[in-house]
């Protein structure tokens, strides 16, 4: 089958859940046996979100092939279990960069470079149906245009356009979509538009005018949405949906509602119930066939509903907003569900953590996660949390910077190096137990230059992590794992023997560089730090083994 393209746009307001709708649609088409991929186009100028403060843009999600991307890619992977690549996340900055680089090379042979056609052509090239294999050719510059060579690999490319209709920045993306729809025809390209239906309490009414206006704006740009997804806090009547359909040139059955649900993972079921995937298949000339049962997915939701007993987990970090630790929160929730528990997370701001208040903050917790991060702010609180948990044997999971803080705390309080630190925080310390990686020392540019993406790690036999990665019932024993990274600093191997002799073991090692990937204290119940980010690879149907084991220990 020739690749088909679904464009997801959003109107009225941001934060309506375009990413969840895209992920849900991907899930539903995948369940019907189609090969799909989901990509996100972000209209901002940064080349990638890697240089963005989490307060600006939430978590930076990292793909296995080492791209720093939008957190929506995390949703795509958690819903579908399909690994994304650097081609799945594109920003305006990246589009412009490649056009400008080509202009400097002289590739345009004297032409004036313009938004249309040069920028829009570059956007169209990146909506291309290539799956770039991990470690393989990843540059979109060598890829074929939509429908060209490689098009046989994918049945559907779902492209989510970031931002809201009416934004100046997203105009070139919408123009590219308009052109593609015209070139490919209605059976190969379709637009799903997500809008918001607000409820005016004083009038006691749900209002459709913003949706009508948003669709008119789209139409003004030459795009007629075939499907509307209406986000609302309330149930929408058939009458209201008919009214929207009538005003927007959309079939009534193609007006779907997306009301608030207790979990984002219920959205695919809700979309399936309303036939979102079936409508799209019909419109694109495909046979609809039987509705997939989504058995394992429903089982997860069932477990989730039954899991009412609470396990309290503290998240020690410096970013006081949910989106900053999105993947960690989701990974904890997945693992909680499969352990028949409801994970209740408590954000503990490490900046304000002191010896005086730590017992009050962490005392009632079944477990503690020490979060990733960068820079000085809040690190003494993380070190304090590591000490508190180590000396009281509270199950503790340190991730990336969190692991580094566990290592520093151990050096200060067990090895007796009071000034132990990371070179990131103190470049002059005598005891740099966390040191800048050798290859990072020559790095001058900040963007995209960390150690990024998936690398191998060998597990030490008999360690807790080796057991965690090989839970009972699994026959094939894993001795080497592969996890994703995002860091510049590492455990300083000069101190390795001293750590091992004093009870903190280096139980995960990168086989080619000897970089310490995992530390644990076997004498404690669960005190493990990972240099990598396991949270990027936990999915609904495959919860991450370390989070599974951590929650088990917390219980
Ligand atoms: N700042 C630390 C480093 O660069 C940790 C990074 C992280 O937590 N992602 O090594």
Q: 55 pLDDT exceeds 90?
A: no
Q: 461 pLDDT exceeds 60?
A: yes
Cα–Cα distance between 519 and 527 in angstroms, integer?
Answer: 8
3-state secondary structure 176-214: HHHHHHHHHCCCCEEEEEEEECCEECCCCEECCHHHHHH
401 C-beta closer than 6 A to ligand 1: yes
What is the dihedral sign for C-alpha 134, 137, 141, 145?
negative
Radius of gyration of the chain (CA): 25
SS3 content of the chain, % helix, strand, coil (to 5): 40, 20, 40
Cα–Cα distance between 471 and 149 in angstroms, integer?
Answer: 42
Q: Whose CA is nearest to atom 1 of ligand 1?
A: 374
Q: 478 pLDDT exceeds 70?
A: yes
**Ligand 1 midpoint to CA 354 (Å):** 23
Q: 473 pLDDT exceeds 70?
A: yes
DSSP-derived 3-state class of residue 475 = coil
54 C-beta closer than 6 A to ligand 1: no
Q: Which atom of ligand 1 is nearest to the CA of 372?
A: 8
| pLDDT band (50, 70, 90) for residue 130 | low
Show the CA angle centred on residue 423, arms to residues 419 and 425, nearest 5°: 75
- If one compares 133 and 182, the residue with the highest pLDDT of the two is 182
**Which of 317, 487, 536 for a ligand 1 pocket mutation test, highest count of atoms within 8 Å of Cβ?**
487
402 C-beta closer than 6 A to ligand 1: no
- Decide if 211 contacts 12 (C-beta within 8 A): yes
**Ligand 1 midpoint to CA 486 (Å):** 6
Distances (CA, A) of 437 to 132, 432, 516: 28, 12, 11
Structure tokens given for 444: 């001058």
535 C-beta closer than 6 A to ligand 1: no
Distances (CA, A) of 300 to 182, 273, 296, 400: 41, 17, 6, 29
Q: Which residues contact 117 (CB under 8 A, 6 or more apart)?
A: none
180 C-beta closer than 6 A to ligand 1: no
Looking at residue 134, its pLDDT comes to: 30
| pLDDT band (50, 70, 90) for residue 291 | very high
- Decide if 312 contacts 278 (C-beta within 8 A): no
Looking at residue 53, its pLDDT comes to: 87
Structure tokens given for 344: 């209740």
DSSP 422: B
pLDDT digits (tens, 9 = 90+) for 211-223: 999 999 999 999 9
**Ligand 1 midpoint to CA 447 (Å):** 14
Catalytic residues: 400, 533, 535
Q: Are strands 342-349 and 310-317 parallel, antiparallel or unpaired?
A: parallel
- Decide if 490 contacts 538 (C-beta within 8 A): no
pLDDT digits (tens, 9 = 90+) for 371-389: 999 999 999 999 999 999 9
**Ligand 1 midpoint to CA 4 (Å):** 39
Q: Whose CA is nearest to atom 3 of ligand 1?
A: 487
What would the mean pLDDT of 331-360 be, rounded to a whole number? 97
Q: Which atom of ligand 1 is nearest to the CA of 434?
A: 10
Structure tokens given for 110: 């004297």
| Residue 390, burial from CB neighbour count under 10 angstroms (0-12, 13-18, 19+) | buried
Q: Which atom of ligand 1 is nearest to the CA of 490?
A: 10
Q: Which atom of ligand 1 is nearest to the CA of 489?
A: 10
Q: Whose CA is nearest to atom 6 of ligand 1?
A: 487
Structure tokens given for 542: 């495959």
Phi/psi zone of residue 32: left (φ > 0), alpha (ψ -120 to 50 degrees), beta? Answer: alpha
Phi/psi zone of residue 473: left (φ > 0), alpha (ψ -120 to 50 degrees), beta? Answer: left
Choose the weakest-confidence range: 32-41, 124-133, 342-351, 445-454: 124-133
| pLDDT band (50, 70, 90) for residue 472 | confident
Looking at residue 321, its pLDDT comes to: 84
| Residues paired with 315 in a beta bridge | 347, 369
Q: 89 pLDDT exceeds 70?
A: yes
Q: Which atom of ligand 1 is nearest to the CA of 424?
A: 1
Structure tokens given for 379: 């690190």
Cα–Cα distance between 387 and 380 in angstroms, integer?
Answer: 11
488 C-beta closer than 6 A to ligand 1: yes
Residue 515 neighbours by CB distance under 10 Å: 21
Segment (H or E) for 281: helix 276-283
**Ligand 1 midpoint to CA 351 (Å):** 17
Looking at residue 128, its pLDDT comes to: 65
| Residue 16, burial from CB neighbour count under 10 angstroms (0-12, 13-18, 19+) | buried
Q: Which atom of ligand 1 is nearest to the CA of 486?
A: 9
- Decide if 11 contacts 221 (C-beta within 8 A): no
What would the mean pLDDT of 99-123 be, rounded to a whole number? 96
Q: Are strands 156-161 and 36-42 parallel, antiparallel or unpaired?
A: parallel
Looking at residue 129, its pLDDT comes to: 53
Q: What percent of the chain lies above the pLDDT cut of 70?
A: 95
pLDDT digits (tens, 9 = 90+) for 145-174: 333 334 448 999 999 999 999 999 999 999
Show the CA angle centred on residue 183, arms to residues 162 and 211, nearest 5°: 40
**Ligand 1 midpoint to CA 371 (Å):** 10
Alpha helices by DSSP H, 352-474? 358-362, 379-392, 401-410, 464-468
| Residues paired with 459 in a beta bridge | 508
Choose the weakest-confidence range: 132-146, 212-226, 308-322, 367-381: 132-146
Cα–Cα distance between 345 and 324 in angstroms, integer?
Answer: 14
373 C-beta closer than 6 A to ligand 1: yes
**Ligand 1 midpoint to CA 233 (Å):** 39
Looking at residue 150, its pLDDT comes to: 40
Q: 135 pLDDT exceeds 60?
A: no
| Residues paired with 38 in a beta bridge | 158
Q: What are phi and psi of 207, to 5 degrees?
A: -110, 130
Average pLDDT, the chain: 93
Looking at residue 471, its pLDDT comes to: 87
What is the dihedral sign for C-alpha 49, 54, 55, 58?
positive
What would the mean pLDDT of 171-197 be, rounded to a whole number? 96
Phi/psi zone of residue 204: left (φ > 0), alpha (ψ -120 to 50 degrees), beta? Answer: left
């Amino acid at each position: 089958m020739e690749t088909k393209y679904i464009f997801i746009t959003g109107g009225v307001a941001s934060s309506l859940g375009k990413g969840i709708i895209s992920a849900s649609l991907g899930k539903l088409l995948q369940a019907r046996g189609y090969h799909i991929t989901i990509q996100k186009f972000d209209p901002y100028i940064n080349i990638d979100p890697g240089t963005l403060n989490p307060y600006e843009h939430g978590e930076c999600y990292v793909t296995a092939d080492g791209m720093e991307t939008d957190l929506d890619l995390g949703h795509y992977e958690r819903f579908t279990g399909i690994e994304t690549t650097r081609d799945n996340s594109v920003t305006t900055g990246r589009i412009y960069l490649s056009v400008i680089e080509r202009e400097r090379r002289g590739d345009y042979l004297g032409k004036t470079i313009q938004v249309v056609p040069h920028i829009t052509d570059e956007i169209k090239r990146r909506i291309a149906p290539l799956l770039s294999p991990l470690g393989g050719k990843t540059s979109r510059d060598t890829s074929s245009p939509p429908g060209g060579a490689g098009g046989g690999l994918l049945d559907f490319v779902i492209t989510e356009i970031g931002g809201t209709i009416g934004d100046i920045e997203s105009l070139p993306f919408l123009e590219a979509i308009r052109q593609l729809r015209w070139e490919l025809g209605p059976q190969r390209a379709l637009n799903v538009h997500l809008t918001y239906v607000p409820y005016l309490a004083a009038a006691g009414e749900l209002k459709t005018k913003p949706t009508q206006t948003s669709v008119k704006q789209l139409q003004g740009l030459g795009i007629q949405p075939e499907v509307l997804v209406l986000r609302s806090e309330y149930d929408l009547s058939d009458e209201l949906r008919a009214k929207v359909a009538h005003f927007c040139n959309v079939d009534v059955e193609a007006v779907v509602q997306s009301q608030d649900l207790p979990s984002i993972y219920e959205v695919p079921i809700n979309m399936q119930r309303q036939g979102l995937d079936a409508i799209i298949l019909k419109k694109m000339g495909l046979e609809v066939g039987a509705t997939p049962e989504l058995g394992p997915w429903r089982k997860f939701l069932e477990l989730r509903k039954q899991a009412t007993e609470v396990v309290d987990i503290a998240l020690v970090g410096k970013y006081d907003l949910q989106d900053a630790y999105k993947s960690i929160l989701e990974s904890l929730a997945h693992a909680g569900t499969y352990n028949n528990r409801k994970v209740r997370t408590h954000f503990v701001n490490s900046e304000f953590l002191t010896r005086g208040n730590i017992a009050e903050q962490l005392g009632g917790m079944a477990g503690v996660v020490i979060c990733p991060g960068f820079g000085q702010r809040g690190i003494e609180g993380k070190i304090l949390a590591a000490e508190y948990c180590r000396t009281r044997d509270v199950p503790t999971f340190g991730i990336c910077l969190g692991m580094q803080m566990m290592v520093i705390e151990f050096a200060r309080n067990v090895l007796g190096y009071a000034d132990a630190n990371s070179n990131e925080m103190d470049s002059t310390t005598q005891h740099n137990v966390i040191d800048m990686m050798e290859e990072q020392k020559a790095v001058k540019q900040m963007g995209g230059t960390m150690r990024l993406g998936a690398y191998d790690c060998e597990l030490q036999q008999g360690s807790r992590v080796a057991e965690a990665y090989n839970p009972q019932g699994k026959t094939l024993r894993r001795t080497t794992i592969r996890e994703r990274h995002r860091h510049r600093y590492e455990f300083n191997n000069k101190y390795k023997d001293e750590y091992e002799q004093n009870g903190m073991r280096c139980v995960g090692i990168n086989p080619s560089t000897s970089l310490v990937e995992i530390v644990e204290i076997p004498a404690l119940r669960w005190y493990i730090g990972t240099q990598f980010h396991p949270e990027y690879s936990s999915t609904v149907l495959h919860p991450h083994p370390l989070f599974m084991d951590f929650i088990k220990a917390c219980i």
